[in-house]
Structure 1
């Protein structure tokens, strides 16, 4: 029986090695680019040639509880911002009142309502599209900003200067995250790691169009380019419209960048672990911007290098007191997964600057987030299997049936 057990164990180990070894090399090829990436953007002051260069568009729907820091942060931007267009989708809370109040102090703010949502559009790209159509043609750049962000002084000037200096037609930023509760400090970094494992770090050279990454929370595009792309129409039915539009632009030959913006923009996306799991988790698969083959490849990678290492090491520790395993495949498998776990814990130090720790006493669970990696993979897997029917208070059941 021991011999039969050894044969089975050896076969399982060999199969896992075939699954994990190629994925490990892919992961390492991406992580090795990290030390050579561009440094995070720093706040800058505008130059005279940037006067009125940017129209900011903020899509809103019942954002009264979290939009105030965004409005205040945008108001602190300098003369490079020509106008700040808040496109409200008929909020039922005090969102319009907050915009009207700051409008009294800063005439650059404009409040409009988008047209009724067409059946083949998702709410966010539709609001951004309406804001683009309403914006001044004298602006050279269109900047989409989410209501849950907290723009820091010097954000827009720094973003425009970087885009112009490096020749980007479209560029977006990864933010610094604001977390509060132990559960989200534990889960959110594991979900973020699913992006880091699948794509190059922010600030590295763009990959092929199908691997381009973007973040709609802070999304700058040349007005002429956005017009040539038809506004947001290419991403109208996408629940990850930022990535969909960025990849479409890359296919058309435009230069797309994704940079580290931790020093110039912060974001408080969700309240607690449950909301993080439900809301953010269901868009992280990026299936609306990827082919079926790419989705399968990403799931294989995440299973191999993020979900399995903890499970394999834990299983070995659980059964090793009862069985004697010394076969070469098992030893190699164990060492490989210990190596992957070591990488995962080391990456905590790499992503630590992407989190604001100033106002949270529960951030110690951040260092335990690798224990949530199997859950993070499960969330991506579940999200990849279905299209949302509810999003930000809207129903998309008809779109799913279509």
Structure 2
């Protein structure tokens, strides 16, 4: 029986090696770019040539509990910001009141309501599109900012100067995340790692258009380019409109950048582990911006290098006392997965600056986040198989194309 088990185990190990080895080489080719990436943006002061260069657009829907830091942060931006347009989708809470309150102190704020949502649009790109249409034609840049962000002083000047210096037509930033509870600190880094494994690190050279990354929480685009693209119409039915629009822009020949903004913008996305699982995990698959073959390829990669390594190592530790298996394929498989586990834990130090630890006493679970990797893969898999029917309080028809 032990001999039969050894034969079966050897065959399984060989199959897993065929699955994991190519994925490991792809992962390493991406991670090796990390040391050569552009450093995080630093806050900068504006110069006279930037006066009134930017119109900021903030889409809102029942954001009263978290929009105040965003409004305060935008108000602290200097004269490079011409106007700050809050596009409210008829919130039922105090969101409009908070905007009107800060408007009394800063006349750059404007509160408008978007038109009724068309059937083929998702709420967020529709609000952003309305904000673009109502923005001043004198502004050279349009900056989309989410209500859950906390812009730091010098954000807008730094972003525009970087875009102009490096010739970007569209550029977005990865933020520094604010987490509070142990469950968040355990799950969220594992979900974030699914992006790092699938794409090049922020601040590296762009890949082919279909692999471009973007983040709509802080999304800057030349007004002339956005007009040429038809505003947000190309991303109207997408639940990851930022990536959809960025990839469409790249296919049209525009230069798109995705940079590290941990020093200039923070974000408090969700409250607790359950909300993180439900809301953020639902959009991380990026299926609205990818082909079916891309989705399958990403799932294969995540299964091979993120979900399986710890499971394989733990399985070996459980069965090794009961069975004597010394096949070469098993030894090679074990070493490969130990190598992947070491890489995964080492990456915790690489992503640590992406998290704000100043106000959380539960961040120790961050160092255990690799244990959540199988769950992170499961979340991406489930999201890839299902189309959202609810998002930010809106209900969408199941037959809607996304």
Partner of 1:93: 93
Asked if structure 2 preserves the Cα contact closer than 8 Å seen for 1:313 and 1:337, the reply is: yes
Q: 1:182 to 1:336 in 2, by over 3 A?
A: same
State the Cα deviation string for residues 292-329 of structure 1 (Å, max 9, x = none). 00000000000000000010001001111101111100
Distance (Å, rounded) in 1 between the aligned partners of 2:325 and 2:99: 66
Aligned to 2:115: 115
Rounded to whole Å, the distance in 1 between the matches of 2:202 and 2:54 is 23
Query: Which residue number corresponds to residue 191 of structure 1?
Result: 191
Tell me, in whole angstroms, the C-alpha distance in 1 between the residues paired with 2:391 and 2:287.
Answer: 16
CA contact (8 A) 2:172 2:218 kept: yes
Evaluate the alpha carbon distance shift between residue 136 and residue 401 of structure 1 in structure 2; reply closer, same or farther with a 3 A threshold: closer
Q: Structure 1 residue runs of 4+, over 4 Å off?
A: none
CA distance in 1, matches of 2:321, 2:21: 27
Residue 368 of structure 1 and its aligned partner are, at CA, apart by: 0.1
Q: In the alignment, does 2:243 pair up with 1:243?
A: yes
| Alignment pair present for 1:293 and 2:293 | yes
Task: Give the aligned partner of residue 135 of structure 1.
Answer: 135
- Residue 5 of structure 1 and its aligned partner are, at CA, apart by 1.1
Structure 1 residues 40 and 91: alpha-carbon distance in aligned structure 2, compared to 1, 3 A threshold = same
Distance in 2 (CA, whole Å) between partners of 1:5 and 1:35 is 44
**Contact 1:120/1:399 (8 A) holds in 2:** no
Shift in Å, 1:400: 3.1
Q: For structure 1, which runs of at least 5 residues remain unmatched after alignment?
A: none
1:2-59 C-alpha deviation (Å, 9 max, x unpaired): 2211110000000000000000000000000000000000000000000000000000
Query: Given that residues 243 and 289 in structure 2 are in contact (C-alpha distance below 8 angstroms), is that contact kept between their aligned partners in structure 1?
Result: yes
What SS does structure 2 have at the residue aligned with 1:83?
strand
State how far apart, in whole Å, the 2-side matches of 1:399 and 1:129 are.
23
1:215 positional shift: 0.1
Q: Give the distance between the partners of 2:312 and 2:399, measured in 1 at CA.
A: 40
Deviation at 1:365, TM superposition (A): 0.1
What SS class does the counterpart of residue 221 from structure 2 fall into? Answer: strand
TM-score, scaled to structure 2: 0.99
1:119·1:398 contact (CA, 8 Å) conserved in 2?
A: no
Q: Is the 8 A contact 2:387 2:398 kept in 1?
A: no
Distance 2:146 2:160 in 1: 18
Query: What's the TM-score, normalizing by structure 1?
Result: 0.99
Structure 1 equivalent of residue 12 of structure 2? 12
Are the equivalent residues in 1 in contact too, given 2:2–2:324 (CA < 8 A)?
A: no
Deviations 1:117-146 (A, max 9, x none): 000000000000000000000000000000
Whether the 8 Å CA contact 1:119–1:399 is kept in 2: the answer is no
**Residues 30/4 of structure 1: CA separation in 2 closer, same or farther (3 Å cut):** same
1:146-186 CA-partner distances (Å, limit 9, x unpaired): 00000000000000000000000000000000000000000
- Aligned pairs for 1:3-402 (under 5 A) are 3-397=3-397, 399-400=399-400
8 Å contact 1:179–1:356 — kept in the other structure? yes
Q: Offset of 1:395 from its aligned partner?
A: 0.5
Which secondary structure state, in structure 2, belongs to the residue aligned with residue 359 of structure 1?
A: coil
Distance in 2 of aligned mates of 1:384 and 1:186: 22
Contact 2:239 2:283 in 1 (8 A): yes
CA distance in 1, matches of 2:172, 2:68: 22
Shift of 1:281: 0.2
Q: Distance in 2 between matches of 1:284 and 1:305?
A: 17
